[in-house]
Amino acid sequence: MKIKIFKVFVVLLNLFIVGSLLYLPYYLFGGRLFLGGDDTRFYYAYPTEVLNSLAFFSWNNISSLPSNITNFHSIPFLIVLSLLDTLLNSKIHLFYLSFSLPLILGFIYFQKLIREFIGKEYLISLTGALIYVLSPITVVSHISHFLTPVWLIALVPIIFYYYISFIRRGKAVDILKAVIWSIFLSIAYFTIAWILGLLLPLLVGFIFLCIFVENPLKNRLKKTVIFTSFIISSQLFWVVPFIMSLVYRGEGGLGEKIVSKGFIDSFSPTVNAIATGNIIYPLLTFYHRQIAFDYDWQLKNVFLIYFDRVLPFSLVFIIILFLGVIRYNQALGGNKKKMFLFIFISFLAALYLFTVNIGFLKYIFLFSGHIPGFSIFRNFTDKFSLGYIFIYSSLLSFCLYIIKKSFSKLYIPLLLAVIIVIVVNFIPVKQIINSPVWTTNDIYQTVNLPQEYLTFTKQVKTSIPHSENIIAFPQNIASYAIITESNGKNAYIGTSPFKFFTGVNDLSASSSYPIEISNNIKDSIKNRNYKNLLIYLEEINVGYVMVTNNIPEEVKKSYLFDKEYLKFQDKQMFDSIIDHEILKSEKGNYVLYRLKNSPKIISTDGEIEYHKINQVLYQIKLKNLKDIGHLSFLESYHPGWKLYLSSPDILYLIKKPIFDSTHKALWPYGNAWIINPNTIKNSLGKQFYNENKDGSIDLTLTLYFFPQLYSYIGAAMTMLSLLVGVIYLIRNKKNEIV
């Protein structure tokens, strides 16, 4: 009877916590959307718009000049959210569900994972899960920003749980469930730096076991290979085009940025700037206090007003850790002891990587910056935070289990103390997450996009071609748009979502362009050299000017704007570069103008017509082509842009592009080909062109971004490999996979 009552109590407690997590965004945001930041968070409220304008293409530009950055990893996630958007018919409810979901899944599956290690210890696993999803480290590092890595909170325990379950039981259904979750959460697999931030300390623990205990994969290698193969296969639809985007580089691609000298050279200065904390705060499950003070974050005030006062209560975590470590050898045996050692050594590595500022070990980390690719960890407190709290929560769960076995009288008091401390530390969550924009006092990023803006973007979508860029003023430093509610206090501040609504790309800041172009534009504006400014804008395919008139003064005085640069973006500048007004929003807060000297994205020496079909495909008609000429295309240079004589299909894999040997970068921006009509006449049949009476020819070309095909190859590889894997599992269904 007591066991049944206990189980009912645990179920009710879980339901209460899940319900509380569902309610959390309603409490935090009060009926507004939590939009903004570098990745906009738009896909949680407007998934269909993001899916249509971004996810299906290898060539993308969101408030920047375009580059080969793939977004296929987000397709399954966006499809599911688009279906939910239709069912819920509410942007608020959809966003709030999306906000709660990674926390709920992480809470549920972390418990399931811990019980695989220590048995049916429901209260211990629940407590460990609460530490994992509600600790100040999780709140500050992931929930407060709610960027894509937040989904690792769910994905990590899900995959580890099904892996351990498959290793122990050999059931194919565990692989199937892991694959389904992996496809849905493929958006989280793209956060490679954070995944490596978890795997690196786990690798240290694995090596320790191999050297001092035994190889933990002994007798488990076959199952590990099978499980891992299925997970990798499920991600090939985005991994293949992603790898090719790194190998097949053009200007401004992701691979170019990672290996750039500037990125590598910034490693040591960045590490030295943020390596000012110590191990005490992470041991208490707090984010590094000193960093908040060094950079004057709003978190600083939370420490001063609240955390500093309740800090001593968190010593309970160190007590639990200490008691667990001193008695693990007596309390544990066999596989449990090996698992504890693995987690403990991994924890020490994670603590070091999350802190770095530990004596001479700091210099080892700095030296590691010379390792190719290690520079992605320059912001180590961010990249290693999830790995640290996941491993630390697992270790504390183990320690509570040891205390239950070795210090039975202390178990209940310590368990209750931990739960109380978790709740106490979570109380200021609203002050942490829904805090004013950095360097402002009264501007918040919870916002419902004003109807004026939404109506304006609908009008833009149908009023101008989608092939030319818009330059947005006033220009800031972060390629951000500022879309303000009528109260002047709540604003969308993040990467401009203009393209999601209009299909037209806007360039809103200095970081929207490569550094040389950015400097040229800025210098022209400051020197009031508007003739040169128009030339530079024409060279990067800018045909329109958009002006936002209701940016709060407090935002203009914040870190987002260069005050010296801002004062030159005035009426004199606008009068000098604007031709005429195209559209004005209802209240005049958003105005679109035609730029003087407007460009053509595709041009040639002769007659030309072109049609943009989508972001990777253009159809071009050249007329009366008689002499050798140039064809220019005003997009970032990339060798993947190819000219063909037929419409695009999968046969492009075997077809040869035309004039490919003449393709070169157009200075300072763009692509150029030499078009020779004699080459066409001499090497191609007349079915490919029409010859006019004067000897000139009319020719239809297709301009296609060849790397787009890698997405189709990746999708085919995913389907084929999963099909082969399913056949293998069915054939082995009657026998346990050993």
Residue 617 in contact with residue 703, Cβ under 8 Å?
yes
d(CA 476, CA 526): 14
Q: Is the pLDDT of residue 650 over 70?
A: no
Give percent of the chain with pLDDT exceeding 90: 78
Q: Is the pLDDT of residue 177 over 80?
A: yes
Residue 629 in contact with residue 675, Cβ under 8 Å?
yes
d(CA 217, CA 224): 8
Q: Is the pLDDT of residue 731 over 80?
A: no
Specify if 609 maps to a domain: yes
Specify if 718 maps to a domain: no
Task: State residue 256's pLDDT score.
Answer: 52
pLDDT category, 565, cuts 50, 70, 90? very high
Specify if 497 maps to a domain: yes
Specify if 682 maps to a domain: yes
Of 554, 577, 595, which marks where a domain is finished?
Answer: 595
Q: Is the pLDDT of residue 685 over 80?
A: no
Task: State residue 141's pLDDT score.
Answer: 96
Compute the C-alpha angle 69/74/75, nearest 5°: 110
Q: What is the pLDDT of residues 196-245, one digit of tens each?
A: 999 999 999 999 999 988 877 777 888 999 999 999 999 999 999 999 98
pLDDT category, 116, cuts 50, 70, 90? very high
Specify if 417 maps to a domain: yes
Give percent of the chain with pLDDT exceeding 70: 96
Q: Strand 602-604 and strand 542-548: pairing? A: unpaired
> Which segment of 257-261, 396-400, 548-552, 559-563 scores lowest on mean pLDDT?
257-261
d(CA 212, CA 467): 62
The domain of 501 spans: 446-595
Residue 551 and residue 612 in one domain = no
Q: What is the pLDDT of residues 501-515, one digit of tens each?
A: 999 999 998 889 988
Q: What is the mean pLDDT of residues 663-679?
A: 91
Residue 135 in contact with residue 425, Cβ under 8 Å?
yes
Q: Report residue 373: phi and psi, to 5°.
A: 90, -20
Residue 582 and residue 630 in one domain = no
Q: Is the pLDDT of residue 315 over 60?
A: yes
Residue 619 and residue 528 in one domain = no
Q: What is the pLDDT of residues 445-471, one digit of tens each?
A: 999 999 999 999 999 999 999 999 999
Task: State residue 655's pLDDT score.
Answer: 74
Residue 147 and residue 294 in one domain = yes
d(CA 139, CA 389): 11
Q: Is the pLDDT of residue 684 over 90?
A: no
Q: What is the pLDDT of residues 333-347, one digit of tens each?
A: 889 999 999 999 999
pLDDT, averaged across the chain:
92
Name, in order, each residue with C-beta under 8 angstroms of 42's C-beta and a sequence gap of 6 or more. 35, 49, 50, 497, 500
Task: State residue 21's pLDDT score.
Answer: 98
Q: Name the region of 436 (left: φ>0; alpha: ψ -120 to 50; beta: rest).
A: beta
d(CA 390, CA 100): 18
pLDDT category, 651, cuts 50, 70, 90? low
d(CA 530, CA 536): 10
Residue 586 and residue 685 in one domain = no
pLDDT category, 166, cuts 50, 70, 90? very high
Six token digits for residue 469: 């860029």
Name, in order, each residue with C-beta under 8 angstroms of 38's C-beta and a sequence gap of 6 or more. 147, 494, 495
Q: Is the pLDDT of residue 253 over 80?
A: no
Q: What is the mean pLDDT of residues 680-698?
A: 84
Helix residue ranges, H only, 30-171: 47-50, 75-88, 91-118, 122-134, 136-138, 152-169
d(CA 420, CA 310): 11
Residue 125 and residue 263 in one domain = yes
Higher per-residue confidence, 259 vs 22:
22
Dihedral of CA 540/546/548/553: which sign? positive
Q: Pick from 120, 333, 341, 397: which is nearest to 216 by CA?
A: 341
Task: State residue 144's pLDDT score.
Answer: 94
Specify if 45 maps to a domain: no
Of 433, 455, 485, which marks where a domain is finished?
Answer: 433
Residue 485 and residue 555 in one domain = yes
Specify if 97 maps to a domain: yes
Give the H or E element holding residue 665: strand 664-665
pLDDT category, 261, cuts 50, 70, 90? low
Query: What's the one-letter identity of residue 88?
Result: L
pLDDT category, 289, cuts 50, 70, 90? very high
Q: What is the mean pLDDT of residues 575-595?
A: 96
d(CA 604, CA 609): 10
Task: State residue 507's pLDDT score.
Answer: 95
Specify if 78 maps to a domain: no
pLDDT category, 682, cuts 50, 70, 90? confident
Task: State residue 597's pLDDT score.
Answer: 84
Give the H or E element holding residue 494: strand 491-495
Task: State residue 118's pLDDT score.
Answer: 95
Structural domains in the chain (count): 3
Residue 426 and residue 450 in one domain = no
Residue 121 and residue 249 in one domain = yes
Q: Is the pLDDT of residue 703 over 70?
A: yes
Q: What is the mean pLDDT of residues 281-296?
A: 95
Of 572, 595, 618, which marks where a domain is finished?
Answer: 595
Residue 649 and residue 509 in one domain = no
Q: Report residue 447: phi and psi, to 5°.
A: -155, 145
Q: What is the pLDDT of residues 396-413, one digit of tens each?
A: 999 999 999 999 999 999
Residue 634 and residue 607 in one domain = yes
Q: What is the mean pLDDT of residues 585-592?
A: 97
Q: What is the mean pLDDT of residues 417-430?
A: 97
Task: Return the axis-axis angle of helices 91-118 and 75-88, rounded to nearest 10°.
Answer: 120
Q: Is the pLDDT of residue 260 over 90?
A: no
Name, in order, each residue with C-beta under 8 angstroms of 734's C-beta and a sequence gap of 6 or more. none
Residue 575 and residue 608 in one domain = no
Exposure b/e, 308-327, CB count within 10 A at least 16 = b: eeebeebebbeebbebbeeb
pTM for the full predicted model: 0.93
Task: State residue 264's pLDDT score.
Answer: 73
Q: Is the pLDDT of residue 14 over 70?
A: yes
As separate numbers, helices (DSSP H) first and strands (DSSP E) second, the chain gives 35, 18
Task: State residue 69's pLDDT score.
Answer: 85
Q: What is the mean pLDDT of residues 241-265?
A: 67
pLDDT category, 38, cuts 50, 70, 90? confident
d(CA 33, CA 493): 12
